Amino acid sequence: MNEVTVIIPAYNAERTVGRAVKSVLASTVTVDVVVVDDGSSDATAAAAEKAAAECAAERGSSFRLVRQANAGAYTARVRALAGVETPYFAFVDADDAVEPSMYERLLAFSRANDLDIAQCDAVGASAGGGPELFLGESEVREKVVLPRLLRGEGAVSVWDKLYRNRLGGTGFEPSDIMMFDDLAINLQLFVGAERVGYLHEGLYRYDVNPGSSVRNFRLKNVSDLREAIRFREKFLPRLAGGDCDGGVMAAWVVRNVRNMYLVACSAPVRDGVSRMEKVRALLDLPEVEKAFADLGLSFRRRIMRTRAAVALAFAAKRLKALTGE
């Protein structure tokens, strides 16, 4: 049996999924690769199978394709995890790639330090330096969980990590969440994690995708925010030892509302739903109004300031288009 299963959720990723599959199968350790075709309308499945056929079994690695109706990366990952039997697992996005040594390095690092979760840097984003270890539940809570998962300082990505298979692929919260899916996964995988390490080496090749939900806005993103708040309220008290500052929780909501508002006002309208309808749906969430109230902020005044900033940004963009400067 191989020691690492790598799960690649893929939706309409015909152009990039082959590169992702080949990069993982080129790993310097043998791996089991599972591609979950998330209801794609293009040739994603065929592209993944073709890439696997071109380079699969030469090192003893395996490949499996799973198909599901479109439900998002969260559901794709959770369903794939249910069949994982290897001691470790990892995730790769279908538009990214990994360095050949990524899983060998993370596996050795994890074994040497008996880690529950080992993380690397993205290529080009590593500041270098020696590895960091956070050992013991209190240290993981204070130095990893509270700053990253509670306060949202830094990314909470799943693709830069190697996880020990402690849950056996079971016990995950069912959800239709699409945006904030990495957060929802990590909130559950960090429960019970007592040994976490950061290997500051650039081993993951992250590709900026203009079609990403963080650069577009759909009405589904509003319900996703509500679902993310539910995940945080359910799991963070367990992760933080019951000590979750309500102001910090509210600040996370307000910060994300502001970012989503800016995207809603500036992203192209491609789904027949006006920008104003999207903004109204976002601001009408009772959880959003409560977060502003918890921080003692004037809800309308804060939003109007943001709206003015967006109007200025639109004017500047229009002027640049007209003048060519």
Q: Which residues contact 293 (CB under 8 A, 6 or more apart)?
A: 299
| pLDDT value of residue 277 | 84
Which H or E run includes 35? strand 31-38
| pLDDT value of residue 184 | 96
| pLDDT value of residue 240 | 82
| pLDDT value of residue 325 | 47
| pLDDT value of residue 295 | 86
| pLDDT value of residue 253 | 92
Domain residue limits, the chain: 4-205, 219-323
Rounded CA separation 264/276 (Å):
8
Rounded CA separation 294/225 (Å):
17
| pLDDT value of residue 162 | 98
Task: Specify the residue for token string 């060998």.
Answer: 104
Rounded CA separation 162/130 (Å):
18
| pLDDT value of residue 296 | 85
Q: Give Cα 270 to chain centroid, integer Å.
A: 24
**Which of 3.90.1150.10, 3.40.250.10, 3.90.550.10, 3.40.50.300 would CATH assign to domain 4-205?**
3.90.550.10
| pLDDT value of residue 264 | 82
- At residue 216, φ and ψ (nearest 5 deg) are -135, 165
| pLDDT value of residue 22 | 96
Of 256, 44, 65, 80, residue with least CA distance to 165:
80
Cβ contacts of 59-62, under 8 Å, gap ≥ 24: 59/25, 59/27, 59/30, 60/2, 60/30, 61/2, 61/25, 61/27, 61/30, 61/31, 61/32, 61/33, 62/2, 62/31, 62/32, 62/33
Which H or E run includes 203? strand 195-205
Residues with pLDDT less than 70, the chain: 56-59, 167-170, 208-215, 243, 299-325
Q: Give Cα 312 to chain centroid, integer Å.
A: 31
